[in-house]
Amino acid sequence: MTTPCLTLVSHRLCPYVQRAAIVLLEKSVPFQRVTIDLDDRPDWFPAISPLGKVPLLRVARPDGSEVVLFESAVICEYLDETQGDARLHPRDPLERARHRGWMEFGSAILADLWHFETASDAETYEAQRDAIAGKFASLESALRDGPFFAGESFSLVDAVFAPVFRYFDVFDTLVDTGVFASVPKVRAWREALSRRQSVRAAVDADYPRHLLAFLARHDSHVLKLAA
């Protein structure tokens, strides 16, 4: 069977894009990457993105037709099911369902992170910091011996949480948020993911600069604490 040509439509900071990129890199799948500016979207983008979001995975079939997949979880599971021999999702249905639940939990943390990084006042910052710390405390109890979510094997849950932790690689250069103070297993997991080649290669070298610029545009309290 001919392998379809894959193009990942991306944004430099999007954590959901990073999930798909990590899976592609874990699977050693050749792919093209097209990075767009969501504030200045190309004319072709609305026609292929029903939700107006990234990532998109453009799958070119051998007959010249194309299918466009949207939503990161859908993209990641398609890639896991069709690319390479090693699976990143558990084969056991119950364990696979448990993993999907924790992937959704990772998305909930990303929602808190949006409010955290765009908070311009101390009250909102503290409330979101506490919400994130509380979710990491819940996550702590779900982790096993590591180094990854399910132990020795890298999974789709790891691909979801690596972009979450990457935010804090930048935040830590500005301020001690304290969200990892009481979660040693989460801290160890974060460190293991930061060393993973697929995680490191999922963003370009300018990622910290772009995130800092984003914080400045939103008058982020994080930057004020660092001043």
Q: How confident is the model at residue 1 (pLDDT cuts 50, 70, 90)?
A: very low
CATH architecture of 93-226: Up-down Bundle (1.20)
For 206-213, what is the mean pLDDT?
98
Instruction: Name the catalytic one among 6, 8, 9, 14.
Output: 14
Quick check: 57 pLDDT over 50?
Answer: yes
Would you state the pLDDT for residue 224?
97
Give the global pTM.
0.96
Where does the chain hold its CATH 1.20.1050.10 domain(s)?
Answer: 93-226
For 193-201, what is the mean pLDDT?
98
Where does the chain hold its CATH 3.40.30.10 domain(s)?
Answer: 5-82
Quick check: 78 pLDDT over 90?
Answer: yes
Q: Higher pLDDT residue, 64 or 190?
A: 190
For 195-206, what is the mean pLDDT?
98
Asked, as a colleague might, if the bond just before 55 is cis with ω within 30 of 0, I would say yes
14 belongs to the catalytic site: yes
Quick check: 203 pLDDT over 50?
Answer: yes
Contact 221, 119 (CB under 8 A): yes
Would you state the pLDDT for residue 4?
65
Q: What is the mean pLDDT of the chain?
A: 96
Would you state the pLDDT for residue 77?
97
For 176-190, what is the mean pLDDT?
97
Would you state the pLDDT for residue 75?
98
CATH number of 5-82: 3.40.30.10
Quick check: 85 pLDDT over 90?
Answer: no
